[in-house]
Homo-oligomer: A and B are copies of this chain.
């Protein structure tokens, strides 16, 4: 069945998943649903202890068995040790057919690939995957289906009951013996535990995994003891040197600096640029550079950002400390500066992933965004974006908050260099659609800017601005002229994964890669 972004979703995938095709970014507005339920074993006896000393013990206490779904968060990023240690124990106990529902999986989790190959893990639900896990999925090693979800979409899937987590493992930098988890104060500070909140709310069993047991009460807690069944103490939950991988160095890449300049010039000429606007940007070089340029405008124009949101890094924290940003609402910290900043600046506030981006609650922060500045691997002439599948057809990225913020923001600006190496980033059809073009307003390349024709208001208000405006087709043609129109990636027939829309519908499918045939 053809969906709203023109992708043909195979009937057998619709049947298998019970899902609908994507029908538009706001199709589910106000459509009532019943929230999920979960099982709770009450702790009324004051003498009851939650502390356990081995993964095997806690897995047994939680009733681990074949076919269960385990929840994980990715706040330790490339330093994460929790997924690997839990899955090794699950594997060693001979458990099969596990579904991993993680907020994301990265290269740190490469060691679980053998458990995919041997059937310990048969389904993966994640924002995205990188490294060897992505290759394994794209090569058809995963028995079941990979589901790629946005950060908001994961909350939706869990709270709507579509995904039921049997046991959630919450890596906690500090934890007391009753389960109060904080993201700071231990050996592996990660700043916030935002993605884990929904696991704590909806999983049957919740295990806090910590390497730093602290005195009760460890508060204010990111995850409350009232939601934690067991506290597992281990030697190490993360590699502190790899947690803050997003450390942004000022870029010297002329293409990125040019795109940053275009972005800022465009932004300040829209009507949303006024005192109290809200703003999210990523941690790519062009985004960071654009935030720095924006700060100069803010100072000159005496304009303040009321809320900066999303994944947070040093440049945004500097603006907070300077008073140019009034509040940061934080779901993820990309560098040590951000982790330190949330400890010291009371206007830097942890929020849950639900508060950030969930499309199925009663209103998330993304809905209040004026601007979001995003990167993309590919953008097509329908303004559809692809942030998950590489130009070689292999899954190598993550949805993150991309579709959530694009849907929410009044002005969504996507930055992409016209060419990624020898591959055109602006193309006729993206390899895989992750973010629907109806939610993308402006595309900024190093060769020029295209405004979505749906946004005549933005075209009108910037028509006199001295910027190289083109149609999206013109940008594509420029790219194709330079490097030629690339042959499409050749896929096999088998669907190995789906790109889930944030509302739970199917945006696109990902097929197994096959060797290129001449």
Mask of A200-244 contacts with B, CB within 8 angstroms, 1/0 = 000000100000000111011000111111000000000000000
A368 to B178, CA, bound (A): 9
A220 to B328, CA, bound (A): 11
- Which of B44, B217, B219, B359 is within 8 Å of A42, CB to CB? B359
Shortest CB-to-CB span from A184 to chain B, Å, is 14
Chain B residues within 8 Å of A227, by CB:
361-362
Chain B residues within 8 Å of A45, by CB:
26, 29-30, 367
A455 within 8 Å of B by Cβ? no
Closest to A206 in B: B362
A408 to B355, CA, bound (A): 33
Q: B46 and A410: CB pair below 8 A?
A: yes
A360 within 8 Å of B by Cβ? yes
- Which of B31, B42, B46, B225 is within 8 Å of A360, CB to CB? B42
- Which of B29, B44, B224, B358 is within 8 Å of A355, CB to CB? B224
Shortest CB-to-CB span from A266 to chain B, Å, is 20
A101 to B178, CA, bound (A): 30
A256 within 8 Å of B by Cβ? no
Chain B residues within 8 Å of A471, by CB:
none
A34 within 8 Å of B by Cβ? yes
Q: A329 and B408: CB pair below 8 A?
A: no
Closest to A156 in B: B42
Q: Which of A92-145 contact B (CB under 8 A)?
A: none
Shortest CB-to-CB span from A316 to chain B, Å, is 16
Q: A32 and B37: CB pair below 8 A?
A: no
Q: A44 and B407: CB pair below 8 A?
A: yes
**Protomer copies:** 2
How big is the A interface, by class?
35 or more
Chain B residues within 8 Å of A30, by CB:
41-43, 45
Chain B residues within 8 Å of A31, by CB:
41-42
Which among A42, A329, A349 has the greatest number of chain B C-beta atoms within 10 A? A42
Shortest CB-to-CB span from A8 to chain B, Å, is 25
Mask of A358-374 contacts with B, CB within 8 angstroms, 1/0 = 11111111011100000
Q: Which of A32-81 contact B (CB under 8 A)?
A: 32-46, 48, 50
Q: A33 and B39: CB pair below 8 A?
A: yes
- Which of B44, B220, B327 is within 8 Å of A359, CB to CB? B44
Q: A34 and B39: CB pair below 8 A?
A: yes
Chain B residues within 8 Å of A32, by CB:
39-41
Chain B residues within 8 Å of A225, by CB:
355, 362-363
Given A179-B362, A219-B327, A358-B226; A40-B33 close (CB under 8 Å): yes
Chain B residues within 8 Å of A38, by CB:
34-35
A33 to B224, CA, bound (A): 19
Chain B residues within 8 Å of A453, by CB:
none
A199 within 8 Å of B by Cβ? no
Shortest CB-to-CB span from A177 to chain B, Å, is 10
Q: A360 and B40: CB pair below 8 A?
A: yes
Chain B residues within 8 Å of A26, by CB:
44-45
30 interchain pairs, CB-CB under 8 A = A29-B45, A29-B48, A30-B41, A30-B42, A34-B40, A35-B38, A35-B39, A42-B360, A42-B503, A43-B361, A43-B367, A44-B359, A44-B367, A44-B407, A44-B503, A46-B367, A46-B407, A46-B408, A50-B363, A178-B368, A216-B306, A216-B307, A217-B329, A217-B368, A225-B362, A225-B363, A226-B354, A226-B358, A226-B363, A229-B362
Told that A215-B276, A217-B365, A228-B363 touch, could you supply 13 new A-B pairs with CB distance under 8 A? A29-B44, A30-B45, A33-B40, A33-B42, A35-B39, A36-B37, A42-B360, A46-B410, A48-B363, A179-B363, A215-B306, A217-B307, A217-B368
Q: Which residues of A contact B (CB under 8 A)?
A: 25-26, 28-46, 48, 50, 178-179, 206, 215-217, 219-220, 224-229, 276, 306-307, 327, 329, 349, 352, 354-355, 358-365, 367-369, 407-410, 503
